[in-house]
Amino acid sequence: MKRLNIFTGALALAAIMMIAPVCVHAQEDGNRDEFGNIVRGPYETNRFGDNWFIGAAGGINVFIEDGYGAKVAPSLDINLGKWFTPSIGMRIGYQGLNSRITDGDLLQKFGYMYIHGDFLWNISNALSGYKETRFWNLVPYLHAGFYRSNGIENLDVTDNQFAAGAGLLHNLRLTDRLDLIVDMRALLVSGSAHGSAGVAVVPSVTMGMAVDLGWPNFTRTATILGAVEIANAERMAIVETAVVALEEANALLEAENTRLMNKNKSLTRQVADLQKAESADEDIISGLSPMTVYFAIGKTVLDDTELQHLDFYADKVMEKVRKGSKVMVTVMGTADSNTGTRTRNAYLSEARGKYIMNLLKDKYGISPENIVMKSEIIDAKAKPELSRSAVISY
């Protein structure tokens, strides 16, 4: 009956201790995002010296084993541990002091020591997200280690045993570095450690204080990513500025390209017009026939008859030359070699050509740039009257 009351009380206490943190967590929303979702890791890896803690606690234990009566005895806990993430940690510790059992009417007192290692899981951070200011953190854990008993009289015992079990750690935040801890643990060890068969159970509840060493908190990677995002945003702003500048430059280039294209079209039209003009010039040239005017022997000016011939030619033909600026007029002044000296004939042929050229410029309005003047002496075989002339050709 006594044992049943102990188990019932322990279960009730465990239920209260497990429900209370859930109620507390339900009131906390400091670790939620703007959409109300719980924010969890990953987290930045801290330095080796950060997130350590050391704790000391005192309380009671009860030794339970078939054939013995359970008795309450004092217990002591000392632990050193480290949190690797907000949810995962490990610690090593000492549990012990003494215990008492009754064998019939005989009360046995003995001491024990349990050196153990614990694997810690902060279920509050795991399920509700990390919050450094949370008041109550619930930490279930598994433990195993070396168990040694001493001071048991008149019994055949095996002093050194392997022991293991599970526990529930309640961590109540008082300040940034100081916590109140309530540790509920169940230890299973071979009964031979106390001179009996079977398995002995040693439940214990201790309360004490824990001090955080090093930097006690964690930085969510999202914070680091936020800084990276800010840096990226700054880079993106620079890139966007460059893009805007490139777009403006591209717009200027497109405008310049449009201007050049329009100019090219204009030049193409001009080339086409010039080609048409050249074609027209060729038509003009092809429509013009050479003309010959004749001089009297020894003369360098035309008589009235030949001047009329030139006037008629100019009225009917030379108008085409005045319209075609690219038409070149060639004036060939000649003299025959049958009469006079060669020097005299050279003078006559050149003078006759210059005479006609001046008439074309001054009387008929032909541009000097479009006139080429030549002179020559006609071979003696030609007819003399044909040798005293000026030929206008194109």
In this structure, the answer to whether residues 259 and 327 fall within a common structural domain is: no
Extract the tokens encoding 19: 């429900």
When pLDDT is cut at 50, 70 and 90, the band that residue 105 belongs to is: low
> Which of 53-62, 194-203, 367-376 shows the highest mean pLDDT?
53-62
- Please say if the pLDDT value at position 368 is more than 70: yes
pLDDT digits (tens, 9 = 90+) for 339-351: 778 888 888 888 8
In this structure, the answer to whether residues 19 and 140 fall within a common structural domain is: yes
Q: Cα 213 to chain center, whole Å?
A: 40
Query: Rounded CA gap, 78 and 58, in Å?
Result: 9
Of 279 and 71, the structure prediction assigns the larger pLDDT to 71
Query: Rounded CA gap, 348 and 341, in Å?
Result: 11
Structural domain boundaries enclosing 339: 288-393
In this structure, the answer to whether residues 140 and 247 fall within a common structural domain is: no
Number of CB atoms found within 10 A of residue 81's CB: 21
pLDDT digits (tens, 9 = 90+) for 253-276: 999 889 888 888 888 888 777 766
Of 6 and 256, the structure prediction assigns the larger pLDDT to 256
Q: What is the pLDDT of residue 3?
A: 46
Using the 3D structure, point to which of 219, 247, 266 is the last residue of a domain: 219
- Please say if the pLDDT value at position 134 is more than 80: yes
Q: How many domains does the chain have?
A: 3
In this structure, the answer to whether residues 73 and 212 fall within a common structural domain is: yes
Contact, 241 vs 233, CB < 8 A? no
Contact, 197 vs 226, CB < 8 A? no
Residues 6+ apart with CB under 8 A from 354: 333, 373
CATH code of the domain in which 9 resides: 2.40.160.20
- Please say if the pLDDT value at position 4 is more than 50: no
When pLDDT is cut at 50, 70 and 90, the band that residue 2 belongs to is: very low
Q: What is the pLDDT of residue 288?
A: 62
Q: What does the CA dihedral 147, 153, 157, 160 come to, rounded to 10 degrees?
A: 30
In this structure, the answer to whether residues 180 and 238 fall within a common structural domain is: no
Q: What is the pLDDT of residue 84?
A: 92
Query: Rounded CA gap, 3 and 286, in Å?
Result: 138
β-strand 329-336 against 389-393: which pairing, if any? Answer: antiparallel
Q: What is the pLDDT of residue 78?
A: 96
Q: What is the pLDDT of residue 226?
A: 54
Using the 3D structure, point to which of 165, 187, 219 is the last residue of a domain: 219
In terms of C-beta distances under 8 Å and separation of at least 24 residues, what long-range contacts does 48-52 make, across chains too?
A: 49/213, 49/214, 50/214, 50/215, 50/216, 51/82, 51/83, 51/84, 51/89, 51/212, 51/214, 51/215, 51/216, 51/218, 52/80, 52/81, 52/82, 52/212, 52/213, 52/214
Residue where the block lists tokens 């044992």 = 3
Q: What is the pLDDT of residue 286?
A: 54
Range 3-30 average pLDDT? 48
Q: What is the pLDDT of residue 143?
A: 96
CATH code of the domain in which 313 resides: 3.30.1330.60
